[in-house]
């Protein structure tokens, strides 16, 4: 069932329930109040009558003229009265009742003998319902007579009937009008959802550059559209990244393959001395090494993406690691007379995976050596500020342009300067470094200027000292 129908039905049912309960309660209260008012007026009239009779010393009344002159209030058009003897027979009654017999009921007589007043309802065929009050008049412990005052309930019943009809008409009309309004409002409220659905269908059709038009209000629908646009934006970005990545990867793998193919074809064209084959095979081996390195690093990154790389979480003494790496880097730099020096090294204990941290540091130092000029200097240092360990690797090499800095952690990104500087490199090392830093809840930054070297800084949280 569509949401609009369901909303309207729910709303309609709730409203119908409220209206019905409200009408019933209203009707009952009004009926009770009207009837109570009649009873009260009957009681007041009867009390007045009894008081007047008392003032007359309970002398029996002679006739109705006398009665009327005694109690003018009894002759009011809407009330009639009768006086019964203790045997229950009528002695006197007001003229406005002459045409009907309204005998004293047995219960009224019995109650009168007990000395109590009684209120009764009486109905006669083809007559309006009556309300009667019967008051006993006692004199010296003996029942003298019974005064009965009565009135027709016709007007009240008429009023109630009219009110009932009004309710029976008004409630369904109100319900119908509200249902129509509810249907209209639900439709209006849901219209943006429809337009979002349509737009989402277009986007799902493949056009990720599409965005939903944002409704002007920042209500639920506005937020939905915003969230949706955000999601599409991120999807768009990651699809683009994947496309970029795939094309970069194929490109990076194609280059060594082309080189290998060209060299191999050339050398095979005619018989050659053994050294030629040897040198081609050596060059091929270099390319193969490069390709295996790319494939291995890619494999690592994709396993990292899928959360499949196992990570230890043990205390690692960074100062020992730094000293170790320093030894390795010194060997790396020897060929090009690059000096790797140790700066300040203070002890620092972090939680993590020693192998990964070693890889991180080695990558940074390798880069520093690789992108240094001959006879350059690379400085590795480690300090701690009480809460974080700060590792830095500084070189005096080619540097990185400001606009390239955010990109160097992307997969396969290599600056043009770096490509011109050396063929060695895959552009994946820093992506791996960024991942390692991230899983260790640290940060990695780079500073420096083109031509004036770069400084990579890694901050890692220290193992909290037991306090």
Ligand X SMILES: Nc1ncnc2c1ncn2[C@@H]1O[C@H](COP(=O)(O)OP(=O)(O)O)[C@@H](O)[C@H]1O
- Binding site residues, ligand X, CB under 6 A: 363, 367-368, 371, 395, 397-400, 408, 413-415, 418, 425-431, 454
The length of the chain in residues reads 467
Question: CB of 322: closest distance to Mg ion in angstroms?
Answer: 18
Nearer to Mg ion, 220 or 296 (CB): 296
CA distance 101 to 130: 12
Question: CB of 408: closest distance to Mg ion in angstroms?
Answer: 9
Applying CB under 5 A, which part among 220-228, 286-294, 322-330, 428-436 lies near Mg ion? Answer: 428-436
Applying CB under 5 A, which part among 16-24, 301-309, 334-342, 426-434 lies near Mg ion? Answer: 426-434
Nearer to Mg ion, 64 or 395 (CB): 395
Radius of gyration of the chain (CA): 52
Among 429, 442, 448, 453, binds Mg ion (CB under 5 A): 429
Q: Tell me, by CB under 5 A, how many residues bind Mg ion.
A: 2
**Token pair belonging to 234:** 């991120």
CB of 363 closer than 8 Å to CB of 399 = no
Q: Which residue is nearest to Mg ion (CB)?
A: 429
Question: CB of 239: closest distance to ligand X in angstroms?
Answer: 23
* E strands, 244-376, in order: 314-317, 339-345, 349-352
CA distance 22 to 18: 6
User: Do β-strands 349-352 and 339-345 pair in parallel, antiparallel, or remain unpaired?
Assistant: unpaired
* Contacts with 110 (C-beta within 8 Å, 6 or more apart), sequence order: none
Footprint (CB under 5 A) of Mg ion, residues 350-369 = 367
**Token pair belonging to 151:** 């009135």
Question: CB of 197: closest distance to ligand X in angstroms?
Answer: 43
CA distance 432 to 216: 43
Question: CB of 404: closest distance to ligand X in angstroms?
Answer: 7
* Contacts with 180 (C-beta within 8 Å, 6 or more apart), sequence order: none
Task: Name the burial class of residue 37, with classes exposed (0-12), middle (13-18) and buried (19+) by CB atoms within 10 angstroms of its CB.
Answer: exposed
Question: CB of 411: closest distance to ligand X in angstroms?
Answer: 8
Binding mask 60-99 for Mg ion (x = CB under 5 A): ----------------------------------------
CA distance 369 to 354: 22
Q: Is 397 in the site for Mg ion (CB under 5 A)?
A: no
Nearer to Mg ion, 130 or 432 (CB): 432
CA distance 431 to 412: 8
Secondary structure (3-state) at 382: strand
454 makes contact, choosing from ligand X, Mg ion, none, with CB < 5 to 8 Å by partner type, with: ligand X
Question: CB of 369: closest distance to Mg ion in angstroms?
Answer: 10
428 makes contact, choosing from Mg ion, ligand X, none, with CB < 5 to 8 Å by partner type, with: ligand X
Query: Applying CB under 5 A, which residues contact Mg ion?
Result: 367, 429
């Amino acid at each position: 069932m569509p949401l609009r129908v369901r909303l309207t039905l729910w709303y309609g049912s709730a409203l119908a329930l409220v209206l019905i309960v409200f009408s019933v309660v209203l009707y009952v209260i009004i009926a009770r109040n009207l009837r109570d008012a009649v009873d009260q007026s009957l009681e007041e009239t009867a009390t007045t009558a009894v008081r007047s009779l008392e003032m007359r010393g309970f002398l029996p009344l002679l006739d109705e003229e006398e009665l009327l002159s005694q109690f003018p209030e009894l002759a009011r058009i809407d009330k009639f009265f009768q006086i019964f003897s203790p045997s229950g027979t009528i002695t006197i009654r007001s003229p406005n009742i002459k045409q009907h017999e309204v005998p004293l009921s047995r219960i009224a007589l019995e109650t009168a003998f007990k000395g109590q007043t009684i209120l009764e309802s009486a109905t006669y065929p083809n007559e309006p319902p009556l309300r009667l009050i019967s008051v006993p008049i006692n004199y010296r412990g003996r029942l003298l007579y019974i005064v009965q005052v009565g009135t027709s309930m016709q007007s009240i019943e008429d009023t109630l009937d009219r009110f009932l009809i009004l309710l029976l008409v008004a409630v369904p009309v109100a319900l119908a009008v509200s249902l129509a309004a509810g249907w209209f409002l639900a439709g209006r409220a849901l219209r943006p959802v429809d337009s979002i659905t349509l737009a989402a269908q277009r986007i799902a059709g493949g056009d990720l550059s599409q965005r939903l038009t944002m409704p002007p209000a920042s209500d639920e629908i506005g937020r939905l559209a915003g969230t949706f646009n955000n999601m599409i934006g991120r999807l768009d970005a990651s699809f683009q990244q994947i496309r970029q990545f795939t094309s970069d990867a194929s490109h990076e793998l194609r280059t060594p393959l082309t080189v290998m193919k060209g060299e191999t074809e050339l050398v095979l064209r005619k018989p050659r001395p053994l050294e030629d084959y040897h040198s081609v095979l050596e060059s091929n081996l270099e390319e193969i090494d490069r390709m295996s390195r790319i494939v291995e690093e890619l494999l690592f990154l994709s396993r990292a993406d899928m959360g499949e790389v196992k990570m230890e979480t043990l205390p690692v003494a960074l100062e020992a690691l730094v000293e170790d790496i320093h030894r390795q880097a010194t060997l790396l730099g020897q060929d090009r007379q690059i000096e790797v020096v140790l700066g300040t090294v203070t002890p620092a204990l972090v939680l993590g995976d020693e192998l990964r941290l070693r890889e991180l540091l080695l990558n940074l130092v390798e880069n520093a050596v690789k992108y240094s000029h001959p006879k350059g200097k690379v400085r590795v240092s480690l300090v701690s500020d009480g809460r974080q360990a700060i590792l830095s690797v500084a070189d005096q090499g080619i540097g990185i342009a400001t606009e390239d800095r955010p990109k160097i952690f992307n997969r396969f990104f290599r600056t043009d300067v770096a490509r011109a500087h050396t063929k060695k490199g895959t552009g994946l090392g820093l992506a791996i470094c960024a991942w390692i830093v991230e899983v260790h809840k640290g940060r990695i930054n780079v500073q420096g200027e083109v031509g004036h070297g770069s400084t990579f800084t890694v901050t890692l949280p220290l193992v909290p000292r037991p306090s």
